[in-house]
Amino acid sequence: MPATSTNPSGTSGIRRRALLGTAVLLVLVALAGLTAYLTRDGRSPAKPSAAQASSPATTPDSSTAPTAPAPHGVNPGLPVPPDTHDPITFGKAAAVALWSYDTRASSQPELLAAVHRWLTTETKYADTASVDALVPSPVLWERMGDQGQFATATASEAHFPASFTQALQTDPGAITTAYVYAVTVTGAQSIAWTGSPRGGAEARTITLAVQCRPDRPCSLAGVLPNVAP
């Protein structure tokens, strides 16, 4: 579209295509990273049995991963990334962080900044927009703040999606330099507010792109647009 065009629908179409391209790139990167994980140290990914394919992954609870102290000047009540090299453990902790907030204890910019500290510093793999979309907007935050709204969350299970594992079995020689893993997390979010301290819990599921290079702790690359089972 010409740069001088002011057609809003055309601009919207370009934006949607750009976002779609980013989403596809993340899927490919996650596939490449999962291959690297399964084939590290020269091992080839073993074909899972029917029982393994239908069973949830058994992994350490995210609470067992050491959590770094909040940076100086940062609200200690905000989420801090765990110090772990396990993408499953990190994925569970990241999901809890993305599902949690407290309008009584922090501002929307503070929460957004805290979430950004979970992102990988490798900008070509960081899909910041997909993460920002899960944080309430400033206007919505103000409205929730009027009610003292807050949310807590838990992550009960996490695993590498079957579709990623199957794709890697087909092409175990996929790119192995990104070290980005697709991790699907299942849990629950409980929202409460002034006058209703108990709130109500709802099931949540999300697929994250998690980068775990061998020489550094895991970080978040982004949130995939669709849940991968």
0.75 surpassed by pTM: no
Give yes or no for a contact between 181 and 212, defined as CB atoms under 8 angstroms apart.
yes
The average pLDDT across 21-26 equals: 44
Cα-based torsion angle of the residue sequence 126, 206, 190, 57 in order, rounded to the nearest 10 degrees: -120
Q: What is the model's pLDDT at position 177?
A: 63
Q: What is the model's pLDDT at position 46?
A: 34
To the nearest whole percent, how much of the chain has pLDDT over 70? Answer: 63
Domain boundaries, given as residue ranges, for the chain: 9-41+71-223
Rg of the chain over all Cα atoms, to the nearest angstrom: 19
Say how far apart CA 222 and CA 4 lie, in whole Å.
32
Whether the predicted pLDDT of 170 surpasses 80: no
| Close Cβ partners of 163 (under 8 Å, ≥ 6 residues apart) | 228, 229
Q: Average per-residue pLDDT in the chain?
A: 75
Give yes or no for a contact between 19 and 130, defined as CB atoms under 8 angstroms apart.
no
Q: What is the model's pLDDT at position 171?
A: 67
Say how far apart CA 102 and CA 104 lie, in whole Å.
5
Say how far apart CA 127 and CA 102 lie, in whole Å.
24
Condensed to tens digits (0 to 9), the pLDDT of residues 54-106 reads 233 333 344 445 554 545 444 668 999 999 999 999 999 999 999 999 999 99
Which three-class secondary structure string do you get for the chain?
Answer: CCCCCCCHHHHHHHHHHHHHHHHHHHHHHHHHHHHHHHHHHHCCCCCCCHHHHHCCCCCCCHHHCCECCCCCCCCCCCCCCECCCCHHHHHHHHHHHHHCEECCCCCHHHHHHHHHCCECCCCCCCCHHHHHCCCCCHHHHHHHHHCCCEEEEEEEEEECCHHHHHHHHHCCCCCCCCCEEEEEEEEEEEEEECCEEEEEEEEEEEEEEEECCCCCCCEEEEECCCCCC
Q: How confident is the model at residue 21 (pLDDT cuts 50, 70, 90)?
A: very low
Whether the predicted pLDDT of 127 surpasses 90: yes
